[in-house]
Structure 1
Amino acid sequence: MKVLRSPSTPIPHSFPMEASAITIGNFDGCHRGHQELISRVRVRAQSQGYSSLCLTFDPNPKQFFKPDRQVGKLFQSQQKLRALAELGLDFTVIQEFNYSFSQLKPNEFYQMLLKQSLRARAIVVGHDFRFGKNREGTIEVLQKLAAADDCAVEVVEPQDWKGQVISSSAIRSYLQERELEKARELLGRPYLLEGPVVSGKKLGRQLGFPTANIMTSDQLLPGLGVYAGLVVVAKEPSIFKIPAACKPCILNIGRRPTVSGGEPAVTTEVHILTDDIGPDALYGETLGVYLTHFVRAEQKFASLDELKQQIAADCQKARALLERS
């Protein structure tokens, strides 16, 4: 997949595709609903000989207009691009979103960006798609503009999974509530955290359970607690396919109340449940952790001995959960 960046001005730009089938959105998490949009774009592109293309925005328009609003992202920026590539698109165009771009009227958005720059011959969008200044462009407006160019518009109705409407906001809620299995069902994959290994206080090593502290950035962390999962040493782990090289692990997301005073920052610590990777070997590496099960909530223990006993029990429970899955 080729990644192209589109500055807000001047428009139109020159891009290499001759004709394209396009889907448009933020695609945070690339959940099952997003996957349906992309699947339909690929089908149209393949049947008509077009390039398949995703148009997305940086920053997210909601974030641009409400910068103080904290909305946890389901993807780091590179994760989204890897996911779109794994889903088989030919191009992803990242449109710079700033004030001047936000002022494009719906007709300008369609004519200069979709038609002239991206050469759209088919457009696939969700039922709630809006575009242009003040979100004035409705589905009906898009259909009218596209019809004049014999450009097909396909509207995808809300997708559900086992009776649950699929949305990024629902997935965020499930993660914050530590409902990993429900989040996984809507995502169509385990939730993936990743980041470089950084130095910690090595308290886990003193307790007999060495951990690797990973620095996650710009991505939603699930609710505080202990989780079971699979970890891989890789800079760009697959989004949708768990690598064969993964190792079973437990992951603690929390403030470590037993060993830390006050209200320290949240840390993300991984303990690998096999003995073939020493903790010192991980410094400088990047880990990807596929979260599969919630083990327990964070709690404070009266002593380090109680904490050590609980960690041993957590490891035993995590192994059992992973063996059954």
Structure 2
Amino acid sequence: MEAHIYSSLTLPCSVIAIGAFDGVHRGHQEVIKQAVKRGEFLNAPSLVYTFDPPPRVYFQGAHMLSSIHEKLPKLENLGVDHVVFAHFDHVYAQLSAGDFINTLSKLNPLEIIVGEDFRFGKNREGDIHLLKKYFPVRVIEPVCCSIGNRISSTRIRQLLSKGEVQSSNSLLGWPAGD
């Protein structure tokens, strides 16, 4: 797996999973696994496009579940060929939805895979419908836990704040220490 900084990569083709992927929890893993699987099927490298820090951490001061150094081995374990880290700061936060689409164009995506709540660009102005105007997009339905609740980084943070480490680890889906 190769890691890249935002805008330093161009590819002849790719299958891209986009998201903050904070914690690389079971829901994130499904999005990423689909990108790897589709990349293999289409004979194209799989790529994870993610943000450091995650936007929720930057804007809301949320607790970060995993650093870049913690994400990299997890992404590699999932079989990703490339990962692009966009440094999320005040400059990046000003990029328009069109700028983001132009950045993705350099990666020549055969398909983009996202979760159903994916938004992008300044003030979250871009959505799945806009993305579909430029690229083939596959939307992955939410992954739920055994009692039917949606798995999310926000929910994992809430569990951790209550000291429910075992429950949060179950949603993350990684063995303790990974």
> Which whole-Å CA distance do the structure 1 matches of 2:166 and 2:50 have between them?
28
Verify the 8 A CA contact 2:15 2:44 in the aligned structure 1: yes
Indicate conservation of the 8 Å contact 1:107/1:145, yes or no.
no
Alpha-carbon distance in 1 for matches of 2:21, 2:56:
13
Give, in angstroms, the shift of residue 16 of structure 1: 5.2
Q: Give the CA deviation at 1:59.
A: 2.6
Aligned to 1:158: 142
**Cross-structure match for 1:51:** 45
Tell me, yes or no, if the aligned pair for 2:48 and 2:83 is still in contact at 8 Å. yes
Q: How many residues align?
A: 177
* Contact 1:33/1:158, CA 8 A, preserved across alignment: yes
- Counting aligned pairs with the same residue, the percent is 40
Q: In 1, distance between residues paired with 2:171 and 2:22?
A: 13
User: What's the offset of the Cα at 1:14?
Assistant: 5.3
Q: Deviations over 1:170-210 (max 9, x none)?
A: 11222232323322221112443xxxxxxxxxxxxxxxxxx
SS at structure 2 position matched to 1:161: coil
Letter in 1 for 2:112: I
Structure 1 residues 161 and 63, CA gap change in structure 2 (3 angstroms) = closer
SS in 1 for 2:133: helix
Q: How far apart are the structure 2 equivalents of 1:74 and 1:104?
A: 25
Contact 2:118 2:128 in 1 (8 A): yes
Q: Equivalent residue for 1:228?
A: none
Instruction: Choose between structure 1 and 2: higher strand proportion.
Output: 1
Task: For structure 2, list consecutive stretches of 5 or more residues without a partner in the other structure.
Answer: none
Q: Which has the higher helix share?
A: 2
Aligned to 1:62: 56
Shift in alpha-carbon separation, 1:16–1:136, aligned structure 2, 3 A: closer
TM-score normalised by the chain length of structure 1: 0.51
SS across alignment from 1:134: helix
Which residue among 68, 86, 92 is the counterpart of 1:95? 86
Q: Is the 8 A contact 2:116 2:140 kept in 1?
A: yes
Distance 1:140 1:120 in 2: 16
Aligned residue number for residue 105 of structure 2: 115
Moved over 4 A (4+): none
What are the Cα deviations for residues 92-129 of structure 1, in whole angstroms up to 9, with x where unaligned? 0011223333222212211x21012x221210000000
Can you give the 5+ residue segments of structure 1 that lack an aligned partner in the other structure?
7-12, 147-151, 193-238, 240-325
**Residue 42 (structure 1) aligns with:** 36
Q: Provide the residue aligned with 2:173 in structure 1.
A: 188
Greater Rg, structure 1 or structure 2? 1
Indicate yes or no: 2:113 matched with 1:128: no
Question: Following superposition of structure 1 onto structure 2, how do residues 269-308 of structure 1 map, counting pairs within 5 Å?
Answer: none
Q: Distance in 2 between matches of 1:96 and 1:183?
A: 26
